[in-house]
Structure 1
Amino acid sequence: MANIKNMNMAKTLLADGKIEFTKSFFGLCTTATYKPTGSRLKGYQNEYSLDQAWAIKSIIGATPGKLSEETTKTSVITPSPNGPIRLEICIADDQSFAAIQMLRFEDFDYQPTSDVKTFEGDDVKALAKVLL
């Protein structure tokens, strides 16, 4: 599990009015919460091979409400060690909210290849089934 505060998408999530960051333990720990349900967010950073990049792009490009159709076309996408594609995933404990962003390793650093995409409702359950 990754620290959401250190993710590339942290600034975008902080600007989202539905996400609340709270500090605890003298400001050393930060917790992200999805306000409408009060559910805590967990962050994941997984690396994938180039072969799986197209499947990830199709998921990120899916329109809201149609993600379950897109995920039925693809099987479970499994992480690979030291892959050039990184996917940052933030998902609520109750699977009511998710945010994902795809990055690619270039010039000795991961550069974003997509904007941060957010999902709510049933789309999150379909996303979790394929990626987690």
Structure 2
Amino acid sequence: MEIEMKVYRLESAKGQGIFNAGIVYDARAAAGVEGDDAQCPYRHPSPYTDVPAWEERGYPRDFFCGFRDVPHLLRWFDSEAIRVEMGKLGAVMKVFEVAPADVLEGEMQIMFRKAAATLVDTLPVPTVAT
């Protein structure tokens, strides 16, 4: 039996990613982050360029963005002010367990098959770097 790995993902309470739910945009505005500010969460590469194995598989829509651990997530969402605002807007950090065969790794993010994952915890958005 394959050992499952944990995946960390920020979502709305309804299970939408924070970009699709609009939370990250509202949090960014509330935190006063504008343009290409050094703290802007979308200065990072998209999964189209960061996760080559996703392209090799034809960009399957059943894969979702996540992170291998909390420090990995904090590299992406490195603005504490934005993380605090996302929490105020209802974002949570969901922790999933998933088989490594259902995970595609990039440098800044991972893609995982959410339908094959098991939700094991729902936590507040981390607001202090760990």
- Normalising by structure 1, what TM-score? 0.22
Which of the pair is proportionally richer in helix?
A: 2
Which of the pair is proportionally richer in strand?
A: 1
Kindly indicate whether structure 1 or structure 2 has the higher relative contact order, using CA contacts under 8 Å at least 6 residues apart: 2
- Normalising by structure 2, what TM-score? 0.23
